[in-house]
Chains A and B, each alone.
Chain A
Amino acid sequence: MNKTKSIVVASLMVGMGLTACNSGNVRRNPGKTYAPDMTYSRAYDAYTSNPNFADSQTSRKPVDGTIAIGHELPDHLVEGDTNAYKTFTTAARFDEAQLKEGQRLFNIYCGICHGQNLDGNGPLYNGGNGKFAAAPANFKDGKYLHMPVGQMYAAVKFGKNAMGSYASQVDIKQRWMILAYIKKVQSENGGEAFVFGTAAPAKDSTKAAAPAADTTKKVAAATGAENNKKG
């Protein structure tokens, strides 16, 4: 009978050992690999820790004064220079596809606070019931309706009050597309006429100018021409 006993004990121990290996459903360990030096790159990848720099980051900022291929020329805005903000603008003009892209970008990066209707009531604020305590700017409201586009640009680049800087998320081209979209919507809601459209605004004006009076149209034409001269 000793043998039977020892067999029973051995099988019990094996069973217990197997259950001990099963650590539940959570996999905290990535496990073993066939070729660790291939699976885990030995070269410094974008996010690997790097002993060559004090902050251990491999991704570095571009060298001062350099521009990456395909990127816009830098604007020369300085944080806090409120006079420069007011006259700052762009020579770029945007067609319908770019305005649509601007809307898409707005909904991703701005809509969460400013609302997809641009009424300052995004899901995070939610009429004061949301997580974000400060009311975001309502672009259809008096103060922001007539805000110079350069001032808005500065707010995107440097942040303003409760709003942080979005320079790391949206590049210069994207910023202007977003701002053009905002200005387009504002022009349809009593703001200044839209001047960032492309040279062929036939479609735009029929769409946008329904409630606008004739006078604003003339102003639009005039400012548009001025801008073109400047550009």
Chain B
Amino acid sequence: MCGKFGDCVVVLPLLCLKGTLIFNFIPVPESFKPMFQKITRSAFAFVIALLLSSISAYAAPDGKAIFQSNCASCHNPLKDATGPHLQGVDGRVPSKDWIYNWVHNSSAVIASGDKYANELYNKWGKTNMTPFPGLSKEEIDAVVTYVNSVKAPTPGGETPGATGEAPAENNGWLYTIITLALVVLMIILWRANAGLRRVASEKEGLPVEKEIPVYRNKVFIAVAAIVVFIAAGYWIVNGAINMGRQQNYQPQQPIFYSHKVHAGINQINCLYCHAGAEKSRQAMIPSPNICMNCHKQINEYTGEKEYPLYTAEGKKVDGTAEIHKLYEYAGWDPVKKEYKRKANGDIDAKPISWVKIHNLPDHVYFNHSQHVKVGQVQCQRCHGPIQDMDEVYQFAPLSMGWCINCHRQTQVQFANNNYYSIFEKYHQELQAGKRTGVTVEDIGGLECQRCHY
């Protein structure tokens, strides 16, 4: 069986052209010919359909991914944020072309005197939307389709991110089940057909060839080998690319600190704790004394009813117990309401060993202040909807392609920014109207030595 295996693989491509060719090379009983032809044809049609569907899935723009990387830092599908909510946007605006123009360059639309654009501009605090000239019409359409498909989270339910993903998953399972059912049906019909044929031949007194079991059928083995080869190759290549990337990494932290409760519900600014983000390379992990600014007073979690805390696995978390874990680290005595002191008068505190989530390799230099202070990039642009996360996960892939893409697309805040005053030529071009904006790429953001030195 194995000896002829190679023949099958060589011959199979020819089979696509002419279904009968294979039978010249491999001895197959004459009566099986038409049946084999049928099966091989349908199997190939199936494999090609699979390939085509996967190719078209790659070609069609992924509205959700585009939305998350470009729009989500200012827009929510359902709620007004920095910008208006986007669900039903195609029904609100004057025309479809208006959306394209607005996304490509909103200030030009405003300048053209468009009534709706000016109303919008005035309503939203006269802030210009970042232009995205790189988005094609198909991509914008995909985003509109995506935001229209987002459903409101059920009250008391999970995070918006989780519910947003659920419909896509359900569809995938549905297709899998239908495909499997069809395959099973195909096998049953084939077996029935073979059985009937045998009975008929016996009755007519024709010689009956012994049936070859399916796992020894060379055509089947060849088809299966190719399918396995393609699937394994896809899996291996993807795995190799993703190795070392830690997107969605969500480690368990020593204290269940919910960013949703602090930055979301209680509206504490990110910089309140991460004060270093605009001063230094490190965003600064707050020391326990910063926690104690509030938690000297707030010694229990009162949101159990409205916002019960759950781990990512769905386990219930006692917020008050977590605050008391903090007291252990900070050396605070919640009963006496004072710090425990060592013999030499120092506070008896110990550092909290938080688990680092966003990890860049040693050969990449990243500086928070350069992005937050100089570039005026919002935290959420890279860290995602951090104000909705109970447990923080890594939102961005942190791959080089991801960095480069943002450096190509993002326009830096060039005007009134002393950090960029030395780029005289660009300032002149901007004033002369020769250029609409300056991207990070324009000021050397793609130079290797920018990040690798």
Contacts and interface: CB of A to CB of B under 8 A. Distances in A.
Q: Do A and B bind each other?
A: yes
Interface of A: 3-4, 7, 24-35, 38-43, 46-47, 49, 55-57, 107-109, 112, 123-124, 131-134, 162-166, 168-171
Contacts of B363: 38
Contact of B213 (A3, A41, A46, A123): A3
Q: Is the interface of A mostly helix, strand, loop or mixed?
A: loop
A26 B312 CA distance: 6
B249 interface: yes
Interface residues of B, number: 43
B297 A133 contact: yes
Contacts of B423: none
Interface stretch (B2-10, B42-50, B149-157, B350-358): B350-358
A108 B350 contact: no
A169 B279 CA distance: 10
A109 B272 contact: yes
B243 A34 contact: yes
Interface of B: 213, 215, 243-246, 248-252, 266-269, 271-272, 275, 279, 281-282, 285, 287, 289-290, 292-294, 296-298, 302, 312-313, 350-351, 353, 356, 359, 361-363, 393
Contacts of A30: 246, 249, 251, 359
Contact of A168 (B287, B294, B362): B287
B172 to A, nearest CB: 13
Nearest to A35: B361
Contact of B296 (A47, A49, A108, A164): A164
A124 B213 contact: no
B313 A26 contact: yes
A24 B250 CA distance: 12
Contacts of B244: 31-34, 39
A24 B287 CA distance: 33
Contact of A4 (B213, B271, B275): B213
Contact of A41 (B268, B281, B287, B362): B362
A33 B269 CA distance: 34
Contact of A57 (B351, B361, B362): B351
27 contacts: A4-B213, A7-B215, A25-B248, A25-B312, A27-B248, A27-B250, A28-B250, A30-B359, A31-B245, A31-B249, A33-B244, A34-B244, A41-B362, A47-B282, A57-B351, A107-B269, A112-B267, A123-B266, A131-B294, A131-B302, A132-B298, A162-B296, A163-B293, A168-B289, A169-B272, A169-B275, A169-B290
